[in-house]
Amino acid sequence: MIQGYGLPVFPGVAIGSSVVYRKAQRSLPVSCGEPAVEQAKFDAARETAREQLTALFEKAKVDIGEEQAAIMEVQLLMLEDLDYLDAVAAAIQGGEAAAIAALDCGEEFAQVFAAMDDEYMNARSADIRDMSHRIYDILCGNTGFQLPEGSFLLVAEDLAPSETIQLPRERILAFVTRQGSSSSHTAILARTLNIPSLVQSDIPLDVAEDCQVLAVDGFTGTWYADPDEETMKLLLEKQAQAAASRQALEAYRGKESISKSGKKVLLCANIGCAEDAVAAIAADAEGVGLMRSEFLYLGRDTLPTEDELFEAYKKVAEIMGHRPVVIRTLDIGADKQVSYMGLEQEENPALGLRGLRICLTREEIFRPQLRAIYRASAYGNLSMMFPMVASVWELKAAKALCARYRAELEAEGVATKDVPIGVMVETPAAAVLAEELAKEAAFFSVGTNDLTQYTLAVDRQNAKLGQFYDPYHPALLALLGHIAKAANDAGIWAGICGELGADPKMTETFLKMGYTELSMAPGRILEARKLVCESEV
Ligand code: PEP
Ligand code: MG
């Protein structure tokens, strides 16, 4: 048995086989022979890539239909691209190893495509990157992501949102990553899926790869590779106890979330897609307090169309019925990157072009989203809010666009409803300006993950800064109190949708401050209701 530790992000015990996800790493040692040898290696790898892509294309045609499968066909065509092949040959002649030449030339071409003034060509940049990474992986012997049948624990150095989106969620028993933080998106996904998970763990990827059984104790933050008999017995006991506690919380299903002195709170779910809305209903959520709409943009090669967005929002609205649903408009940028938007690499992405900043400067991105939200408004109880607001003018500008696109739809004869517009308070500027913003907003929802990051100037993604990322910091509590007071004085509601919203230590404090909505991973709702119902506040 080998054991180690990590930062637990969701309690529980998971036991099963492990799968290790390794990214193509430019830093892997690559041997380099004579140019003729390297060229022969490249040609052979290109042939293997062709076979793999042909097989994938045939499978995709059956699984997802011919139109969607066309992406594989595009990559097959790129394998024949003479400019790319010439560039690789020249790099190999210049002394590069085949693997590095394939990867670097692919990246160069991808950047050229991304910079073109044509949406279709921009989207091809991701295809080129994928294709060159495939050749690189073949040359380096990277087997990539080989998923076994059945369920498994997923181990990785780190996982980007665009990677987690492609995972078969229902088969994952736990995440164990070496990087990441408690507010990273892997952690958020783990909570949404109710699976015990560790970030910042010390698990060597080779150990995870070689073991027969991996176990994760999300209560203590411990992982065990091939646990011995005694440990296994204890883990199974803990697993049974956790199931019993979950069962006990069932007594709160269907109850009103109201404190002993009569303070009513709406306990809502954070979701990313329609599938999560089903989980929200199953978890007895009273609404959706945060739909992270950017998940509709991740893990694909082109912008979703207005119709695709409309269908997704409509589905969520219909699943939630009369219950309120707050859609957060696109929050791409920082740790959530998509190659097809052609966004430049930034020195400081968390402080860069992200969230509402992209939407206000890229009409072709914002217009379809806002129109889709208004079209879907007819099917449920929708509100929307904007991420990363720092100034009143940004809110006013975004509201003006909402009015314009709604009027456009009305003129086209499309039925829409009023959609209350709120602000996601996640910059210190928005918190300080809460009184001003409250004059223009229908509600506030506090994103404590980013508000903590920006108030304390601590990168939420940086595993080494864990001890400095303090969501209970007095500066943060002062801002939280200020935001709730400004909302209450203005007669609008205020909620918390960051990870702190589910923190049992904070429930009473939030009630005292005047928050009337808490939004969290669906699996936390019954526990929060128990706390609200037992509170004297
Ligand atoms: C937040 O910042 O608290 C939040 C809820 O948004 P995200 O985690 O998606 O940035
Ligand atoms: Mg945020």
Q: How far is the CA of 395 from the centre of ligand 1 (A)?
A: 18
Atom of ligand 1 nearest to the CA of 448: 3
Average pLDDT for residues 404-427, to the nearest whole number? 97
Average pLDDT for residues 504-515, to the nearest whole number? 97
Q: Give the model confidence (pLDDT) of 449-489 as tens digits.
A: 999 999 999 998 887 888 899 999 999 999 999 999 999 99
For atom 3 of ligand 1, the residue with the nearest CA is 447
Q: What is the pLDDT of residue 117?
A: 75
Q: Is the CB of 445 under 6 A from ligand 1?
A: no
Q: Given a cut of 70, is residue 324 above it in pLDDT?
A: yes
Q: Given a cut of 60, is residue 85 above it in pLDDT?
A: yes
Q: DSSP 3-state assignment of 173? A: strand
3 state SS for 3-24: EEECEEEECCEEEECEEEECCC
Q: What is the pLDDT of residue 29?
A: 57
Ligand 1 pocket test: which of 426, 448, 476 has the largest number of ligand atoms within 8 Å of its C-beta? 426
Q: Contact at 8 Å (CB) between 435 and 489?
A: yes
Q: Is the CB of 181 under 6 A from ligand 1?
A: no
Rounded Cα–Cα distance for residues 366 and 398 (Å)? 9
Handedness of CA 158, 160, 166, 172 (dihedral sign): positive
Closest CA to 477 of 513, 518, 525, 429: 513
Ligand nearest to the CA of 389: 2
Tokens (6 digits) for 466: 């864990």
Q: Are strands 266-271 and 7-10 parallel, antiparallel or unpaired?
A: unpaired
CB atoms within 10 A of CB 48: 14
Q: Is the CB of 449 under 6 A from ligand 1?
A: yes
Catalytic residue among 140, 268, 359, 497: 497
Q: Give the model confidence (pLDDT) of 176-223 as tens digits.
A: 999 888 877 788 888 888 899 999 999 999 999 999 999 999 999 999
Q: How far is the CA of 183 from the centre of ligand 2 (A)?
A: 10
Q: Give the model confidence (pLDDT) of 137-171 as tens digits.
A: 888 876 556 677 789 999 998 887 666 766 788 89
Atom of ligand 1 nearest to the CA of 500: 3
Q: Is the CB of 375 under 6 A from ligand 1?
A: no
Atom of ligand 1 nearest to the CA of 499: 3
DSSP track, 81-128: -HHHHHHHHHHHHTT--HHHHHHHHHHHHHHHHHHSS-HHHHHHHHHH
For atom 4 of ligand 1, the residue with the nearest CA is 447
Closest CA to 465 of 175, 181, 176: 181
Question: Average pLDDT, whole number, for the chain?
Answer: 90
Q: Give the model confidence (pLDDT) of 6-37 as tens digits.
A: 999 999 999 999 999 876 555 555 678 899 99
Radius of gyration of the chain (CA): 25
Residue 531 corresponds to which amino acid?
A: L
Q: What is the pLDDT of residue 142?
A: 67
Of the pLDDT bands very low, low, confident and very high (cuts 50, 70, 90), residue 123 is low
Which of 50-54, 123-127, 381-385, 480-484 is predicted least confidently? Answer: 123-127
Ligand nearest to the CA of 188: 1
Average pLDDT for residues 229-246, to the nearest whole number? 95
Catalytic residue among 105, 133, 140, 185: 185
For atom 10 of ligand 1, the residue with the nearest CA is 450
185 is annotated as an active-site residue: yes
Residue with tokens 């991701």: 126
Q: What is the pLDDT of residue 203?
A: 96
Q: What is the pLDDT of residue 477?
A: 98
Q: How far is the CA of 532 from the centre of ligand 2 (A)?
A: 25
Q: Is the CB of 287 under 6 A from ligand 1?
A: no
Q: Is the CB of 426 under 6 A from ligand 1?
A: yes
Closest CA to 269 of 10, 525, 11: 525
497 is annotated as an active-site residue: yes
Atom of ligand 1 nearest to the CA of 294: 9
Rounded Cα–Cα distance for residues 53 and 93 (Å)? 27
Q: Is the CB of 127 under 6 A from ligand 1?
A: no
Ligand 1 pocket test: which of 351, 423, 450, 458 has the largest number of ligand atoms within 8 Å of its C-beta? 450
Long-range Cβ pairs for the range 448-452 (8 Å, 24+): 448/476, 448/480, 448/496, 448/498, 448/499, 448/500, 448/501, 449/183, 449/498, 449/499, 449/500, 450/388, 450/426, 450/498, 451/425, 451/426, 451/427, 451/476, 451/479, 451/498, 452/183, 452/476, 452/498, 452/500
Q: Given a cut of 80, is residue 118 above it in pLDDT?
A: no
Of the pLDDT bands very low, low, confident and very high (cuts 50, 70, 90), residue 127 is confident
Q: How far is the CA of 447 from the centre of ligand 1 (A)?
A: 5
Query: What pTM value is reported for the model?
Result: 0.76
Which of 117-121, 359-363, 514-518 is predicted least confidently? Answer: 117-121
Residue with tokens 């089903």: 278
Q: Is the CB of 334 under 6 A from ligand 1?
A: no
Q: Given a cut of 90, is residue 77 above it in pLDDT?
A: no
Q: Is the CB of 276 under 6 A from ligand 1?
A: no
Q: Is the CB of 498 under 6 A from ligand 1?
A: yes
Which of 275-279, 383-387, 508-512 is predicted least confidently? Answer: 275-279
Q: Is the CB of 501 under 6 A from ligand 1?
A: no
Q: How far is the CA of 451 from the centre of ligand 2 (A)?
A: 8
Which of 333-347, 395-409, 423-437, 495-509 is predicted least confidently? Answer: 333-347
Q: Given a cut of 70, is residue 256 above it in pLDDT?
A: yes
Rounded Cα–Cα distance for residues 295 and 276 (Å)? 11
Q: Is the CB of 197 under 6 A from ligand 1?
A: no
Q: How far is the CA of 296 from the centre of ligand 1 (A)?
A: 16
Q: How far is the CA of 447 from the centre of ligand 2 (A)?
A: 5
Ligand 1 pocket test: which of 192, 276, 331 has the largest number of ligand atoms within 8 Å of its C-beta? 331
- How many residues make up the chain in this entry? 537
Q: Given a cut of 70, is residue 502 above it in pLDDT?
A: yes
